[in-house]
Amino acid sequence: DGGITQSPKYLFRKEGQNVTLSCEQNLNHDAMYWYRQDPGQGLRLIYYSQIVNDFQKGDIAEGYSVSREKKESFPLTVTSAQKNPTAFYLCASSIDPGQSNEQFFGPGTRLTVL
């Protein structure tokens, strides 16, 4: 559980501001993912990255951006273009798919737009 961390736990943002959510893992996992969770809904994929310097859009990428400069880190930026950013954001990672399909989740960041 402690192998994947997210910060901050709570984040407040004013409208029109960009904010960056941190996700770090020391599990030596190849793949990393960002999900958004809204009340009464499942997890929706924002972006994912299979390897360093490569990432792909998920189902709801509009208004978000990511980078994968290091294997351990996959920060998510919520831009002002995201119309409804208030949500719970979960980062996950998984090892080489040839070994396991399990995704390990971080503790999440709750973003609130004021």
CB of 34 to other proteins, least distance (A): 12
Q: How many CB atoms lie within 10 A of CB 19?
A: 19
- What is the distance between the alpha carbons of residues 83 and 7, in angstroms, rounded to a whole number? 22
Q: How many CB atoms lie within 10 A of CB 96?
A: 11
CB of 61 to other proteins, least distance (A): 12
108 lies in the site for other proteins, by CB under 8 A: yes
- What is the distance between the alpha carbons of residues 18 and 102, in angstroms, rounded to a whole number? 31
90 lies in the site for other proteins, by CB under 8 A: yes
User: What radius of gyration, in Å, describes the C-alpha atoms of the chain?
Assistant: 13
Toward other proteins, which CB reaches closer, 43 or 80?
A: 43
CB of 90 to other proteins, least distance (A): 7
Q: What angle do CA 4, 57, 15 make, to 5 degrees?
A: 80
User: Which range of residues in 10-18, 62-70, 73-81, 98-106 is near other proteins by CB under 8 A?
Assistant: 98-106
**Chain positions contacting other proteins, by CB under 8 A:** 1, 31, 33, 35, 40-45, 48, 50, 58-59, 90, 94, 97, 101-103, 105-108
